[in-house]
Structure 1
Amino acid sequence: MVKDLILEPTPQSQIDSAEVELLVDPDPMKPAMVDPWAFVETILGWEARMVAGAPGGPALPDRLSLRLPEYDTTLSPDWAVVDPSGGEQPWQLLVRVEEEGVDPDQRGALGGWEATPHQRFERLLRETGVSAGLLITDQDIRLVFAPKGETSGWLAFPIRSLATVGGRAMLGGLKLMLDRGRLFTDAEDHRASAN
C-alpha cells in the first residue's frame, strides 16, 4: 500500500551547516565523519536509550547477528534503532559503521564472504526482517532499503557535502527521513518504520 505523505524538509541555515562542519574532518585523505555516534546524536537527535549498541544505550541483541558458516562470516549491525510503537518487529533501522578505508562496493573488502560490504548489509537486513538501515562509510551515509523478497534500493548522502551551502537541501532531506521526530515521535503511520 502506497501512502501519500506531504513531507517537506525544513530549510537548513548556515547554523545547521556549521553544526555538521564541527563533526566532519575536512581532510579528504581521512574519513569524513569523525564520530558517527556524535553525528546521529547531535544532527539527527537520536537518544542512546532508543539505540541498542550505542554508547550508553541498551545492549545489542544477539538475534540481530547472522552467522554464515559456509563463508566463515558473521554479519551484524553496530546499532539497532528501536521502534517505539512496540509492534511485531521491535526495530526500525539497523546501522553498520564500516572501518576506515573499507569501500562499500568492493568485493572482498572484508574477511570471509567475498560479497561487498553493501551486499552483506542488504543480506543482514533481509534475514533479520528489518527492511531499512544505514551503512556509514568513510565518505557516505547510505540509507538502504532491502525488504525480504523484494528489490532493494539505496540513497547516499555524501558526508562532507552536508556541511556545505550546496548540501543544505541534502541535510534537510536526511533530517526529514531520519531525525528524532520521524523515528520516535511522529504519528505511527508517519514514522520511518511504517513506510
Structure 2
Amino acid sequence: MASGEMLSWLRSTITAELEAARAADKVSPGPWVNRGQAGEGEAWQIHGALTDDCEAEWDEEKQDFVPIGVRVATLNYDDGGGVWEREAADHIVLQQPRDTIARCEAGLALLDLHQHEETSSVAVRLVGGKCQPFGCGICHEKDQIVWGEGICATVRLLASGYRHREGFKPEWVDG
C-alpha cells in the first residue's frame, strides 16, 4: 500500500535528518554565525558557540585576542576549509542544528497525529468532507481534502518538503 510506504519513508527520512542535526549540534553547538571572510582566497568563516576550549584569534579592532567559537567551516583543513560564496555561508548559518531539530520533531509529531495505531498507516476516510474516524483534528477544523489511499493533505504537504530526497515518489503528493 502506497500510504504505508510513504509514511515509512517520510518517518525514516525525518528521523535521519534529526539524528544528523543532533550530531552536528553535539560537535558544533550553535548558534552558528558567519564571521566574515578571512585567509587566502577570502573564504567565509562559520563558527558556533563559545565553549570553554574554543580558540582565540587576533581582533584588529579590539587589538586583543578574542574567542572565536567552535569551528564549523573555517580555513582549517580538518573542518572543510571555509565556504567560498557568501550566499552559501549565509544559508548554512540559517540551518542551525537546533532549528532543524525543532522542525524534525514537529514533523514527527504531525505524523504521530495522523498515524493509526492499529494499522501503522495513515488511515483516514472522508465523511461529510472531513477525516473520520482517526483524522488529525487539523483536517476536521479546516475541512481539508484527503487525497487517494487515505492520506491526509497535511501529510502529503509535509512529504512534499522532502521531494528532493532519495526514495521520494511524486505520486505520493500528486492529488
TM-score (norm 2): 0.28
TM-score (norm 1): 0.25
Greater helix fraction, Structure 1 or Structure 2:
2
